């Protein structure tokens, strides 16, 4: 019965990112205005509720940004994180990126129309 609890629409989005304090580049696999899903090799080191700093450079931005996040979900193939304490500048950059890419990446018909 685990239904999808997401409040924000998501798009497929592939981007390398780093988690502060962890080695290597991780892979963001989807993106919403409130968080991302990150594919990680070993999820045993993560727990729901943990706070992490996510470092990423959005395609339209010159510089990388560090976004404070909280782990909302841990599954075998990765972690879902929710953005917390977004600066206005980061929120605007994420919103711009989302709205650009939602029109360029086709969504499965079952997801409905993204507003």
**What are 6's two structure tokens?**
């997401």
Question: What's this model's pTM, rounded to 2 decimal places?
Answer: 0.78
- Rounded to whole angstroms, the Cα distance separating 34 from 20 reads 19
Which domains does the chain possess? 11-107 (2.40.10.220)
pLDDT at 1 over 60: no
Place of tokens 């409040």: 7
100 against 43, higher pLDDT:
43
Residue 13 has a pLDDT of 79
Answer whether 83's CB lies under 8 Å from 69's CB.
yes
Residue 102 has a pLDDT of 74
Residue 71 has a pLDDT of 97
pLDDT digits (tens, 9 = 90+) for 65-108: 999 999 999 999 999 999 998 999 999 998 888 888 776 655 55
């Amino acid at each position: 019965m685990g239904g999808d609890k997401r409040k924000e629409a998501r798009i497929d989005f592939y981007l390398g990112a780093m988690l502060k304090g962890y080695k290597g580049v991780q892979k963001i696999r989807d993106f919403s205005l409130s968080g991302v899903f990150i594919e990680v090799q070993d999820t045993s080191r993560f727990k729901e509720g943990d706070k992490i700093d996510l470092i990423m450079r959005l395609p339209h931005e010159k510089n990388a940004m560090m976004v404070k996040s909280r782990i909302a979900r841990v599954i075998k193939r990765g972690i879902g994180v929710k953005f917390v304490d977004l600066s206005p500048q980061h929120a605007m950059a994420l919103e711009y990126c989302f709205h650009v890419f939602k029109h360029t990446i086709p969504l499965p018909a079952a997801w409905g129309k993204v507003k």
